[in-house]
Amino acid sequence: MDCMTKKLNEQDQFISKIKQSDSMLAQFYHMDAMDSKSYQQRLLNESNGRETELAHVIEQYMSDLELTDEQNKHIKLLSEGAKVVVGGQQAGLFGGPLYTFHKIFSIITLSQSLSKDYDTDVVPVFWIAGEDHDFDEVNHTYVYNNHDANLHKIKYHTMVPPETSVSRYQPDKTQLKETLAQFFEQMNETPHSKPLLDICRNIIDRYDSWTDMFKALLHEVFKAYGLLMIDANDPSLRKLEQPFIKQIIEQHQKVDDAFRTTQAQTVQSGLDQMIQTDTNVHLFLHEDNMRQLLSFKEGHFHLNKSNKAISKEALLDILESEPERFSNNVVTRPVMEEWLFNTVAFVGGPSEIKYWTELSEVFNVLGVSMPVVLPRLRISYINERTEKLLSQYQLDITQIIANGIQDDKRKFVRAQASQDFIDKIDAIKEKQEQLYQDLKIEVQGNNDNEVLVEKNNAIHQKQYDYLINRYLLNIERENEISMKHFKELSEALHPMAGLQERIWNPLQIMNDFGIDVFSPSTYPPLPYTFDHIVLKP
């Protein structure tokens, strides 16, 4: 595969600020991501003492998988205190959007780079956000159909959407296989289609929970890299987290005050507010088969989906006997993650790393140090067809990835149209405008007639605009094949007005380029970069 980096002109300059070691961001991040001393400091930090037990929890969690030598090696290194690069994501349908894989590649690339640069062992760890209960965010994906040049939404339908954590949810396997079949029906059949479909079907047959199926697919793709995985909702992990959850409960007001204060400071500094939450506890409790948000008022903890009120003593009793019923929200999850691991760097999506600016003081209150925070890699894929069309129309791929195809399409249509025709209409419009200005002078002082002239002029001007637009639309229809080509490029490089990796599914890439397309033997060594990467198989 060929690997190219492209500099995109982005409206959001947040990542650029990180790259520039912006002083405003420095007050919210504990470490400067661009300073090598930050990594040296994190690597030299004393281990937290939980690494042996944590490694055992991960080993148990992954025991239903056939681990590679590299994974076993990393589990051993983790138990001995090796530092980690960590990042996480929700368990999306059939792997979710491509950026899930790119986040993992970011973790792998950065851990390999740090291991080499600092002559030490850094382990890649992926955190599956199985505690999340927003099923609508993970129950669908998109697939591109080459024949109609359209993206199709594929959704797993269930009569009763789960209100519990996705780790607890067991989908109907027959329905899930039907959804999988719908996905593959939209794709071109290639030599890779049948074996890829068989892999997915076997995963559905072998595993029961939504996140275990997700874990198995990720393992199939990334096991050779030695990637370790853990589900945030794993009961053994929750047992290990017990003392820290207790600390959050006992200090919930201080935690909330720290969060609200820092969030206000980020907004005052010109950053967008990222976290929206009304709770003042920042924990969930599993009750009545639902994941319910806790809040504190009038001396008791309350559940948001029932009328139950729980005393602090009763809540701590539940924690002591059933810690697996607790889970973090967006405010406490990052801190919990860092309390567990000896982390050098956290890798997150563009929005995700913004959340962390609002948590700076929460880390301090809970006595946890914030690691280096870095954005994940951003990657687009182009095939021979896409490359051919870019060459045919002499288009700039960087411009399309960043801004879409509309400007190029407009230029193409205008080039096929008669400029003389358009100029004459524009001349008529200008002349009419001058005539109507004369008419307005004639009726000046008569409000009703002034309004009449203005409205009549607007009607005629609108008709001329309609004439030009319909003329250009006819040009588009006369160039139907080229219009389809522009649509193809749009859906491939800027689908739904965004980056390919936010919409496309990794199974599509595996179907087109091979099941082993993401394996070390095929995938190119990636540089960790803030620029956009374009891969051409």
What is the per-residue pLDDT across 152-202, written as a single tens digit (0 to 9) for each?
Answer: 999 999 888 788 899 999 999 999 999 999 999 999 999 999 999 999 999
Within 143-274, residue ranges assigned H as helices are: 173-186, 193-206, 210-222, 235-250, 252-268
Q: Tell me the CA distances in angstroms from 531 to 229, 242, 317, 504, one per residue in order.
A: 27, 40, 50, 20
Q: Give the pLDDT confidence score for residue 163 in this predicted structure.
A: 83
Give pLDDT < 70 ranges for the chain: none
* Domain-embedded: residue 258: no
* Domain-embedded: residue 451: yes
Write the DSSP assignment of 305-368 as a string of letters: TS--EE-HHHHHHHHHH-GGGEEE-TTTHHHHHHHHS-EEEEEE-HHHHHHHHTTHHHHHHTT-
**Whether residues 342 and 471 fall in one domain:** no
Domain enclosing residue 159, as ranges: 13-243+328-380
* Domain-embedded: residue 87: yes
* Domain-embedded: residue 102: yes
Residue in the structure block whose two tokens are 């053994």: 236
Question: How many domains, in total, are found in the chain?
Answer: 2
**Whether residues 50 and 141 fall in one domain:** yes
* Domain-embedded: residue 317: no
* Domain-embedded: residue 288: no
Domain final residue, candidates 380, 413, 440: 380
Domain final residue, candidates 349, 365, 380: 380
**Whether residues 224 and 99 fall in one domain:** yes
**Whether residues 37 and 107 fall in one domain:** yes
**Whether residues 209 and 128 fall in one domain:** yes
Q: For residues 359 and 186, what is the distance between their CA atoms, to the nearest angstrom?
A: 43
Burial class of 160 by CB neighbour count within 10 A (0 to 12, 13 to 18, 19+): exposed
Residue 534 and residue 380 in contact, taking contact as beta carbons nearer than 8 Å: yes
Structure tokens, 464: 């001329």
**Whether residues 368 and 445 fall in one domain:** no
Q: Give the pLDDT confidence score for residue 125 in this predicted structure.
A: 98
Write the DSSP assignment of 411-464 as a string of letters: HHHHHHS-HHHHHHHHHHHHHHHHHHHHHHHHTTT-HHHHHHHHHHHHHHHHHH
* Domain-embedded: residue 254: no
Q: For residues 271 and 354, what is the distance between their CA atoms, to the nearest angstrom?
A: 9
**Whether residues 349 and 429 fall in one domain:** no
**Whether residues 43 and 164 fall in one domain:** yes
**Whether residues 210 and 346 fall in one domain:** yes
- In the sheet with 2-6, reading across from the earlier edge strand, the strands are 2-6, 532-536, 378-381
**Whether residues 484 and 397 fall in one domain:** yes
Q: For residues 78 and 84, what is the distance between their CA atoms, to the nearest angstrom?
A: 8
**Whether residues 349 and 463 fall in one domain:** no
**Whether residues 360 and 400 fall in one domain:** no
Q: For residues 218 and 230, what is the distance between their CA atoms, to the nearest angstrom?
A: 12
Q: For residues 337 and 121, what is the distance between their CA atoms, to the nearest angstrom?
A: 20
CATH of the domain at 63: 3.40.50
Q: Which H/E stretch holds residue 87?
A: strand 83-89
Domain final residue, candidates 380, 413, 441: 380
* Domain-embedded: residue 168: yes
